Structure 1
């Protein structure tokens, strides 16, 4: 039911977009005297369409998240009910199967996280190379022009200070994380 309603709303929004395009074509063919009023009205209609589309996307994603949450909670409830109703032996075997499934899901999630971390590392390396190239160019310019050299030195001092502050913040976060884990 939700999918059909979402499809209907998408079709209506597409139709509204087509009407806006037709209005735009009419405005371009209209007399120059009333053009500013028509263009203002057309822009207002486009803004309204944009707002409708944004609200629709937000509402649809909220409803989908809610449905997924309800499905998850429903499956957990069914699992609990089936666990209560099953016999001791089948409970154990089901428990082992579920545990195995949870372990596989956890392994998959860890694998995904490692892949994300590797991609992030590669991106950071490429950014580092680009920033080193920029720094080399800046050093060359600084050697050519003494005033730029003093500006670059001040920037480097701030960069060093920011690095120290960032290091302290990361260190404190690690310490607090270790304390939290140990607690």
Structure 2
């Protein structure tokens, strides 16, 4: 019994250590799987596979230790406390095993989904590439470009025609105004005479102003030379 009790304690100590390692590794395993399912590189995939193998080995080792503890308990007179502790270790092993399988299945499902999306996108890209390089697609593309150029030319021609019409209308308006002014002058000679007088007076004033400016300049030159 004493040998069994000593072996029991050693087995429990080893079981608790493995349980702690499994708790840490399962958390890291889930994180690596999440990174891998979102397009992780080869290094992440290698780390994930390595940890997957390590967790499997730890679970197998913990199962062996639980079996050894069960044999130890069966070979000796066990108390209720020992039986409860053994049951707790079995529950922990079951929980870790279920969590590992569930996480692995989820990660594999996400990886398959990501690979399927990548494959579909690749097929679509290949289809577009092969379609764009076909003669029919090239002809359609050239035809579209020609139609676009023709539409642009039509737009330019329309703008030019509109501008021509506007300039013609302005020219007609100016000619009409000029004709009306001439008719007004012919019908009212007095007005034409007044306009002529104003024009002559303006010319006379311009000549007087030019003479005054010239005289001032000459006076300044003579004054400067006499000094």
- Bigger relative CO (Cα 8 Å, ≥ 6 apart): 2
* TM-score, scaled to structure 2: 0.36
TM-score in terms of structure 1 length: 0.44
For the pair shown, the structure with the greater C-alpha radius of gyration is: 2
